[in-house]
Amino acid sequence: MDITISADGSRIAYEPVGSGPAVILIGGAFNDRAALAGLAHALAAGGHRAIAYDRRGRGDSTDNAVRFDPAREIEDLAALIEAAGGRASLFGHSSGGVLAIAAALHGLPVTTLMVSEPPYAVDGARPIPPRGVSARIEALAAKDDRDGAAALFLQEQALIPAEAVSRMRDSPIWAAMTALAHSLPYDLAVCGPDLALSDDLHDIGIPTLAVSGDRTQPWLTVAAKAVATAVPGARHISIPGEDHGILRRPENLAPILTDFLRPNAH
């Protein structure tokens, strides 16, 4: 594990694997760098220096911020890119994809942009989250009610049925999810209250790939396709048999990313 220091002094933990052009991997809600380790090793085998990191406040990363501001997470990525040599490709999953897009729009030295199922609400494909849900989740996290924060996020933000959330609560994965539930306000902040697609995507001038699984929630496919449509020259790829849990199956994702990262692939 290595550490880089963000602009506000927060310590951002990261783990580089392999050698070659740098690719920084950004997880979504309930993800720390361990969730991206399999993908990192698969990309390293394809000739890349893959960097999985703990978003601020998660795992071994600290958080000196006084409020949940996406600008701090963009500063974290700036520090990671500098530590990686000054330029890097970005891959982001779910809210990590929204963060990757925000970093590219902010003008960070990103060479290639790849996102998996960024959770935008596009063309009425899903309802906008209820007003005040972000504040309610943040309040639960502030009280360290991680169980409540995780359940509320899953049901009202991610549209997971209550029965499915109940099954999650009874499964071994729940402890890992609640361990990171205090950081959910960052996922909410970067995505915005309306999950709105940025109006500035046409300003992205780097090779861009959006992927989605053909077994995911339909609204996530609509969102991925919308990104590919809005960014000039971008591509969308549907991954057979996959859903939003694709990080658990890096063997199905890594070859697509590796192909896209090849010189002259686009």
Instruction: Clarify whether residues 108 and 141 are in a common domain.
Output: no
Instruction: Clarify whether residues 119 and 104 are in a common domain.
Output: yes
d(CA 191, CA 24): 19
**Is 238 domain-assigned?**
yes
For CA atoms 190, 196, 199, 203, the dihedral sign is positive
Q: How many domains are contained in the chain?
A: 2
- CA dihedral 246→232→107→53, nearest 10 degrees, is 10
Instruction: Clarify whether residues 235 and 164 are in a common domain.
Output: no
Instruction: Clarify whether residues 8 and 43 are in a common domain.
Output: yes
CA atoms within 13 A on the CB side of 235: 14
Instruction: Clarify whether residues 105 and 236 are in a common domain.
Output: yes
Instruction: Clarify whether residues 16 and 120 are in a common domain.
Output: yes
pLDDT confidence of residue 21 = 96
Instruction: Clarify whether residues 175 and 205 are in a common domain.
Output: no
Range of the domain at 156: 133-188
pLDDT confidence of residue 266 = 67
Tell me the two tokens of residue 197. 């697609």
Instruction: Clarify whether residues 115 and 200 are in a common domain.
Output: yes
| pLDDT (tens place) for every residue of the chain, 266 residues total | 999 999 999 999 999 999 999 999 999 999 999 999 999 999 999 999 999 999 999 999 999 999 999 999 999 999 999 999 999 999 999 999 999 999 999 999 999 999 999 999 999 999 999 999 999 999 999 999 999 999 999 999 999 999 999 999 999 999 999 999 999 999 999 999 999 999 999 999 999 999 999 999 999 999 999 999 999 999 999 999 999 999 999 999 999 999 999 987 66
pLDDT confidence of residue 31 = 97
Instruction: Clarify whether residues 77 and 54 are in a common domain.
Output: yes
Instruction: Clarify whether residues 93 and 224 are in a common domain.
Output: yes
pTM above 0.85, yes or no: yes
**Is 266 domain-assigned?**
no
**Is 43 domain-assigned?**
yes
Q: In what order do the strands lie in the sheet with 49-53?
A: 2-5, 11-17, 49-53, 22-26, 88-93, 110-116, 208-213, 235-239
Instruction: Clarify whether residues 31 and 84 are in a common domain.
Output: yes
Instruction: Clarify whether residues 50 and 80 are in a common domain.
Output: yes
Tell me the two tokens of residue 101. 């897009």
